[in-house]
Amino acid sequence: MKRSDRLVSLTNYFLENPRKHTSLPFFSEKYAAAKSSISEDLDIVDRVMREEGHGHLQTIPGASGGVSFIPDFSMENGNQFINELCSRLQDPARILPGGYLYMSDVLGDPQMVNKIGRVLASVFSDRPIDAVMTVATKGIPLAYATASVLNVPVIIVRRDPRVTEGSSVSINYVSGSSRKIQTMVLPTRSLHEGANVCIIDDFMKAGGTINGMISLVKEFNANVGAIGVLAEADDEEDERVVENYTSLVKITNVDIKQETIEVHPGNY
Amino acid sequence: MKRSDRLVSLTNYFLENPRKHTSLPFFSEKYAAAKSSISEDLDIVDRVMREEGHGHLQTIPGASGGVSFIPDFSMENGNQFINELCSRLQDPARILPGGYLYMSDVLGDPQMVNKIGRVLASVFSDRPIDAVMTVATKGIPLAYATASVLNVPVIIVRRDPRVTEGSSVSINYVSGSSRKIQTMVLPTRSLHEGANVCIIDDFMKAGGTINGMISLVKEFNANVGAIGVLAEADDEEDERVVENYTSLVKITNVDIKQETIEVHPGNY
């Protein structure tokens, strides 16, 4: 295969297999090309990906060496994306009863969701993460988008047990804003002891739901390695029960009567 | 930018923007290259993508012309993937009460889910589809994976109304296997009249849930353009209420006592 063809094929391979360690001989054989030619190809892919802020190739030298593609979202691209997101969300027609925001259109756009996942994953890129956890329903697409880039499985916590998942562990937690006692369930087979979990959700008010997931992770003797949310409501900051999280946008000054709302970049 | 660099950048662009129509002048300007050079680049990308069974470039000539990348999964790749899926699912430890199958590990693997989405999307590639619909919870990742390739939004039907989505339309439907009357809800803002909807779900027994979604689509004066499921249970075929669907795998002869199960390719 010629260099030009190899570059298209390699780029496709890396984008389909993020963070997967692949040996150089694999590529040599696949393309029937010398290792030195493959090395030059990889330099080109690495340089272009870096220049365009999509990620970089991580090379491990030696006998068991190889290469893996680490997707990234440059700070510049990330900030630009978040500003676009803020202006899209800052529409008074989105205000719903209870200070919630209608975001189903944003969360229903797969290209948008994939970008949010890439931004969140880039923040957690250098932490050891074994799984992404979210609670049904709205956090699910964001969790998959993030996990897809981190190349780890997704674990979905439910508020109701289902017959189709076998035995499960359930915990009670206090919803932060309504102070109601609620239940969360996770199938026993879903999570291993000692795993490092990244918790993802779409919206955080006081943080009760995320706190519930933290308790659930501890119940399995696993660790919380990272917490990421698309949007946080600033108004409840003094009641917040969660620390050390990453938010992309922060929603402030929601006034239902005046129909005004402000959306600013979060702590990303 | 040199040809080698452009090929990496172009491949990345097309994979990130499936089915998006882009004009040639856009690329000429982005890469500061002659239109003839860009055309040659596109020929290379198109040829390699076709050869490897990932898709092809669709070129529209003329003044308003341009190019879009149509992702695909060659029949050969598709059949190979489905056979792998069958042997992975054909494990008696997966049998759950009621003839259900534990699939959360498969559905929790983002790379797996993305592949399932690509296979389903390739089946519906030449039909006009404006949105992908699914019902919470398990179908959600498959719906996003499919919609991501078709480049259309996702609509999530719920079994319980939520306060955070505004006004909604609800319907009652009869669950096919249990004959129970259930409810499905969709926010009014989610679906436009006349839209062509692709219904996606993880598992179909008699088809009551999918039939419910069909009724909901009709309630919005929209059309069902395609139906796709990951797995169908063969045992209930005589009671099936849904026609014209695509299934990737078919589960037969589930025997809870003998702990045996057979998984075959579906009607893909």
Q: How confident is the model at residue A240 (pLDDT cuts 50, 70, 90)?
A: confident
Q: Which of B32, B10, B33, B34 is nearest to B22 (CA)?
A: B10
Average pLDDT value for residue range A63-90: 92
pLDDT in tens, A113-167: 999 999 999 999 999 999 999 998 899 999 999 999 999 999 999 987 666 677 8
Number of structural domains chain B divides into: 2
Task: Supply the CATH number for residue A60's domain.
Answer: 1.10.10.10
Please state, in angstroms and as integers, the Cα–Cα distance from residue A55 to each residue in A5, A47, A52, A68, A186, following that order.
Answer: 21, 9, 8, 11, 34
Collapsing DSSP to helix, strand or coil, B265 comes out as strand
B59 plus B92 within the same structural domain: no
pLDDT value, residue B256:
78
Q: How confident is the model at residue B177 (pLDDT cuts 50, 70, 90)?
A: low
Averaged confidence pLDDT in chain B = 91
Q: How confident is the model at residue B180 (pLDDT cuts 50, 70, 90)?
A: confident
Burial class of residue B50, CB neighbours in 10 A (0-12, 13-18, 19+): middle
| A216 touches A171 (CB < 8 A) | yes
From chain A, the residues in CB contact with B96 under 8 A are: 163-166
Of A44, A71, A98, the residue at which a domain comes to its end is: A71
pLDDT value, residue A253:
83
Of A71, A96, A131, the residue at which a domain comes to its end is: A71
Taking an 8 Å cut-off on Cβ atoms, the answer to whether B47 and A5 are in contact is: yes
Which ipTM value was assigned to this complex?
0.92
B64 plus B79 within the same structural domain: no
Average pLDDT value for residue range A188-194: 92
From chain A, the residues in CB contact with B11 under 8 A are: 7-8, 11-12, 15
pLDDT value, residue A112:
95
> What is the distance between the alpha carbons of residues A52 and B200, in angstroms, rounded to a whole number?
35
A148 plus A199 within the same structural domain: yes
Q: Where are the beta strands (DSSP E) in chain B?
A: 55-60, 66-71, 95-96, 100-101, 131-135, 154-157, 168-174, 181-187, 196-204, 223-233, 246-255, 260-265
pLDDT value, residue A172:
92
Residue holding tokens 């199958």? Answer: B101
pLDDT value, residue A93:
85
Residue A158 at interface with chain B, using a CB cutoff of 8 Å = yes
Collapsing DSSP to helix, strand or coil, B49 comes out as helix
B22 plus B103 within the same structural domain: no
> What is the distance between the alpha carbons of residues A90 and A103, in angstroms, rounded to a whole number?
11
pLDDT value, residue B205:
87
| B contact residues 13-72, partner A, Cβ 8 Å cutoff | 15-17, 44-45, 47-49, 52, 54
Average pLDDT value for residue range A211-231: 96
pLDDT in tens, A83-94: 999 999 998 888
> What is the distance between the alpha carbons of residues A68 and B62, in angstroms, rounded to a whole number?
41
From chain A, the residues in CB contact with B98 under 8 A are: 163-164
A vs B, Cβ pairs < 8 A, gives 159
A94 plus A168 within the same structural domain: yes
> Is pLDDT above 80 for A176?
no
- Give the distance from residue A32's alpha carbon to the nearest chain B alpha carbon, in angstroms: 15
Average pLDDT value for residue range B180-201: 93
From chain A, the residues in CB contact with B184 under 8 A are: none
Task: Supply the CATH number for residue A180's domain.
Answer: 3.40.50.2020
Q: Which of B56, B52, B44, B39 is nearest to B8 (CA)?
A: B44
B51 plus B129 within the same structural domain: no
Q: How confident is the model at residue B224 (pLDDT cuts 50, 70, 90)?
A: very high
A224 plus A100 within the same structural domain: yes
Q: How confident is the model at residue B7 (pLDDT cuts 50, 70, 90)?
A: very high
A61 plus A97 within the same structural domain: no
Q: How confident is the model at residue B197 (pLDDT cuts 50, 70, 90)?
A: very high
B54 plus B176 within the same structural domain: no
- DSSP 8-state assignment for residue B152: -
Q: How confident is the model at residue B237 (pLDDT cuts 50, 70, 90)?
A: low
DSSP B200-232: EEEEESSSHHHHHHHHHHHHTT-EEEEEEEEEE
pLDDT value, residue A102:
84
Averaged confidence pLDDT in chain A = 91
Q: What are phi and psi of B263, to 5 degrees?
A: -125, 120
Residue B238, both tokens = 């005589």
A66 plus A80 within the same structural domain: no
A61 plus A91 within the same structural domain: no
> What is the distance between the alpha carbons of residues A41 and B8, in angstroms, rounded to a whole number?
10
> Is pLDDT above 80 for B236?
no
Residue B105 at interface with chain A, using a CB cutoff of 8 Å = yes
Question: A139-148, A234-243, B3-12: which has the minimum mean pLDDT?
Answer: A234-243
Per cent of chain A over pLDDT 90 is 71
Q: Which domain holds residue A142?
A: 75-265
Residue B194 backbone class (left: φ over 0; alpha: ψ -120 to 50; beta: rest): left
B34 plus B151 within the same structural domain: no
> What is the distance between the alpha carbons of residues B199 and B77, in angstroms, rounded to a whole number?
23
pLDDT value, residue A14:
97
Q: How confident is the model at residue A259 (pLDDT cuts 50, 70, 90)?
A: confident
Q: Which of A201, A251, A249, A203 is nearest to A85 (CA)?
A: A249
| A158 touches A149 (CB < 8 A) | no
Of B16, B43, B71, the residue at which a domain comes to its end is: B71
pLDDT value, residue A236:
61
pLDDT in tens, B10-66: 999 999 999 999 999 999 999 999 999 999 999 999 999 999 999 999 998 877 789
Task: Spell out the residues 6+ positions from residue A19 whose beta carbon is closer than 8 angstroms to its own.
Answer: A68, A69, A70, A71, A149, A150, A151
